[in-house]
Every structure is written in structure tokens, then in C-alpha cells.
Amino acid sequence: MPEDRDREFLIIICESGTCNEVLRRIQAAGVDRYTIQRGVTGCGETGRHEGTPVWPGDCTMIYSCVHQVQVGPVLETLTALHSSRQQHTLGLKVFSLPARELL
């Protein structure tokens, strides 16, 4: 098992309608521990998502601390999902930060 210092904190932001597909894909890539925050609102490249009649829709954020070797497979599967939606711009972003477990 890689050392704890070889971890990345992933932040995945997706349209709520695609959350189940994103979860299925990251689980298939070996991610089995995560936190989900539903009902996230904001404005990004695909426009506003505020959960209102004027700006419908909202987003989901998925947080996971993974070993660095897992980042590639997660990014590969989510890139494939994003690319498969060429006709519709999919609100999907993945960010990574170095992580160190303190407690």
C-alpha cells in the first residue's frame, strides 16, 4: 500500500443529474470512500445552476482522498464521460490537492 503522504484530495463537481453515473465510474476506478454534498449552487462554464425556475438545476460535489495511483484511472473515466457528451456540454470538473492525514 502506498504511503499516506502519497495521497490526493479530489473534488469532483458535477450536474446532479449525472451524479449516479459519476459515482458508478469512480467506484469502478477503485474509489470506495467518498463524501457527497448535494444541492450545490453556483455559476461556471456551463452557466448558472441555482435550483430556481429562472436558473434550474443544481450540482453535486464529491470529495475523496485517494492514493496518487488512483488519480489517473479516475481522471480517465471521467474524461471519457465528459467526451461522450459532445452534443451537450456536461458540467463536470475535477480538482486535485495534495493531502496529508492529520488525525
CATH number at residue 33: 3.30.70.120
Domains held by the chain: number: 1
Percentage of the chain lying above the pLDDT 70 cut: 92
For residues 65 and 102, give the distance between their C-alpha atoms in angstroms, rounded to a whole number. Answer: 13
- At 37-73, the pLDDT tens digits run 999 998 888 788 888 888 888 999 999 999 999 999 9
The answer to the question of residue 1 being in a domain is: no
The answer to the question of residue 2 being in a domain is: no
Domain range spanning residue 51?
7-99
- Chain centroid to CA 56: how far? 20
- At 4-14, the pLDDT tens digits run 668 999 999 99
The answer to the question of residue 17 being in a domain is: yes
The answer to the question of residue 62 being in a domain is: yes
Nearest Cα to Cα of residue 63 among 103, 28, 4, 22: 22
User: pTM for the whole thing?
Assistant: 0.88
Checking if the pLDDT of 78 tops 80, the result is: yes
Checking if the pLDDT of 98 tops 60, the result is: yes
The answer to the question of residue 68 being in a domain is: yes
Checking if the pLDDT of 88 tops 70, the result is: no
The answer to the question of residue 47 being in a domain is: yes
Contact assessment for residue 14 and residue 39, using Cβ atoms and an 8 Å cutoff: no
Checking if the pLDDT of 2 tops 60, the result is: no
For residues 49 and 22, give the distance between their C-alpha atoms in angstroms, rounded to a whole number. Answer: 18
The answer to the question of residue 76 being in a domain is: yes
